Amino acid sequence: MQADHSFVSAPGAVPLLGHTWRFLRDPLSFLRSLPAVGDIVAIRLGPFDALVVCAPELVRQVLVDDRTFDKGGFLFDRSREFLGNGLGTCPHKDHRRQRRMIQPAFHQARLPGYAREMSAQARAVADSWRSGQAIDVLAEMTTISLGTTAATIFSAAPSELRESLAADLLTLEGGVFRRMLLPPRADAVPTRGKRRYDRAQTRSRQSIHRIIADYRADETDHGDLMSMLLAAQDELAAPGAAGASLSDEEIRDQVMSFLFASTDTIGKALSWAWYLLGRHPRTAERLHAEVDAVLKDGTATFEDLPRLEVTRNIVTETMRLYPPGWLLTRTTTVDTELGGRLVPAGTDIVVSPYQMHHRADLYPDPERFDPDRWAPERAGTVPRGAHLTFGGGARKCIGDAYGMTEATLALATIAARWRLEPVPGRKVTAAPYALALGPKGLYMRTVARDGRGREASDRGPRTDGRSEAPSTVAQVPQRGH
């Protein structure tokens, strides 16, 4: 069903394409411009009509009433093709059972174990750098988050399976956003990209099924998420009854959800943090002073977390400015009312944490990078429902504590060893054409803080296969915060 056209429409629509061109050219500016148009704004993207909900109280209504505003809409309908029916994508009718069964894997008591892996992965990447290197920050941070995800989800999986999954993940992530806006018929055209995408989808599913089969055969509790999923029982179902435990297909879909939800979000959040610190040296100095005072042997641990307040506030503020989950969609399951207007069943609804986080009425001086917003004496002034980094309502992120823990430990562990300086002349832009919002073109130079790193002139070629910045870079001014 089409969106109700009595809603005010965003300006700049052109015949047939609607707002697609405006959105594709600069989706973040487009989203930021909409609250000035109305509380609920009609847009048209490719074949999709949608309503963008801008008013905070209406956004809350959408997120809290997940029966009426169910998972769906152009983002999640296409994501389901490769994520399957896991916790992040499943409809309301399947959600409560899945959440009940999976929640114990994210219990507070599991975090110290996961934190050990997080610290180890960050330390390994920080140890692999040499002073004076220009590193591809997003690639390095993704190595940390991917390594941690693999270690906490399926620690016992063979390394070749983990590596092939990692490669497939990147292919799928890049492809899904592009396909999202294509009409299904255009998407069916067997281009090279489409074939690569389809192969990655088939292979990743096969890889996960192989890991599940190995775990089932072995029966050892590895203390990871896979072991928890295999043991998960629905407490409301009789033992042995249909649906009392998770099937292989359900476990596969959960694993896909976790892989995507954790790798991309945390890798990108950490990258933005370094970008912002490079532009705010005084905040970087406060970070370094904190880790020097708190960390015992240069690696942040779970026990250090309560004292890493500056680090945590930097992470929180970074994700306010650049929320990895920048766009969420829903679909209405019945005719309903929103802001006093009728919204027909089957309408696509868009909520944007990015848009919300950049509203001047919710966050004074919203474009300013100000980690102290999140200091205890000020954090209480953020209006209820305005902070959407992890979403809200029953579909709120299940990995929020995991994500904050990993980002804080990784930032602190790296900051203990390294300062990262911007590479002059590099143009860094926000690249939203993915499920998570990341920086494009972010290369930074490593400066050793403890005298252990070798100087730039000592530097030999990398041997780990990860990328380094080209030695000559275009002189393009940076923009942003």
Which residue ranges make up the site for ligand HEM (CB under 6 A)?
87-88, 99, 257-258, 261-262, 265-266, 269, 319, 324-325, 328, 389-391, 395, 397-399, 402-403, 407
State in angstroms the smallest separation of the CB of 465 from ligand HEM: 25
Cβ proximity to ligand HEM: between 129 and 258 the closer is: 258
Tokens of 325: 């989950």
Kindly report the CA angle at 273 between 268 and 277, in degrees rounded to 5? 150
Among residues 85 and 446, whose Cβ is nearest to ligand HEM?
85
Task: Write the burial class of residue 200 (CB in 10 Å: 0-12 exposed, 13-18 middle, 19+ buried).
Answer: buried
Alpha-carbon span 290 to 274, nearest angstrom: 16
| Closer residue to ligand HEM in complex, CB, 66/290 | 66
Closer by beta carbon to ligand HEM, 225 or else 469: 225
Nearest to 381 by CA among 389, 369, 372, 373: 373
Helix or strand run (H / E) with residue 99: helix 92-102
Give Cα 477 distance to the centre of its chain.
Answer: 27
| Least spacing, CB of residue 321 vs ligand HEM, in Å | 12
The nearer residue to ligand HEM, 83 or 442, going by C-beta atoms, is: 83
Q: What's the min distance (Å) between Cβ of 151 and ligand HEM?
A: 12
For residue 199, the tally of other CB atoms under 10 A from its CB is: 12
Exposure on the CB side of residue 304, measured as CA atoms within 13 A: 27
Query: Is the alpha carbon torsion for 142, 144, 149, 154 positive or negative?
Result: positive
Distance of CA 129 to the CA centre of its chain: 25
Cα-flanking dihedrals φ and ψ of residue 136, to 5°?
Answer: -80, 100
Minimum CB separation of residue 104 from ligand HEM in Å reads: 13
265 or 478: CB nearest ligand HEM: 265
In the complex, what is the shortest distance from the CB of residue 367 to ligand HEM, in angstroms, rounded to a whole number? 20
CA distances from 288 to 40, 127, 295, 409 (A): 43, 17, 10, 13
* Phi and psi torsions of 474, nearest 5°: -65, 145
CB of 71 to ligand HEM, least distance (A): 7
Alpha-carbon gap, residue 406 to 111, rounded angstroms: 10
Integer Cα distance of 91 and 69 in angstroms: 10
Closest residue by beta carbon to ligand HEM: 399
Q: How far is the CB of 241 from ligand HEM (least distance, A)?
A: 23
Pick the closer one to ligand HEM by CB: 134 or 166. 166
Beta carbon nearer to ligand HEM, 122 or 423: 122
- Using the minimum distance from each CB to ligand HEM, give the nearer residue, 330 or 419: 330
Nearer to ligand HEM, 265 or 413 (CB): 265
- Residue 172 burial class via C-beta count within 10 angstroms: exposed 0-12, middle 13-18, buried 19 and up: buried
What minimum distance in Å lies between the beta carbon of 273 and ligand HEM? 11
Distance of closest approach, residue 15 Cβ to ligand HEM, in angstroms: 31
| Calculated CA dihedral for residues 302, 303, 309, 314, nearest 10 degrees | -20
155/158 Cα distance (integer angstroms): 9
Q: How far is the CB of 390 from ligand HEM (least distance, A)?
A: 5
Least distance from ligand HEM to the Cβ atom of residue 154, Å: 12
Give the residue from 64, 34, 31 showing the smallest Cα distance to 384. Answer: 64
Closest to ligand HEM by CB, 407 or 423: 407
Q: What span, in angstroms and rounded, lies between the C-alpha atoms of 30 and 315?
A: 25
How far lies 21's CA from each of 33, 44, 181, 386, in Å? 15, 10, 11, 29
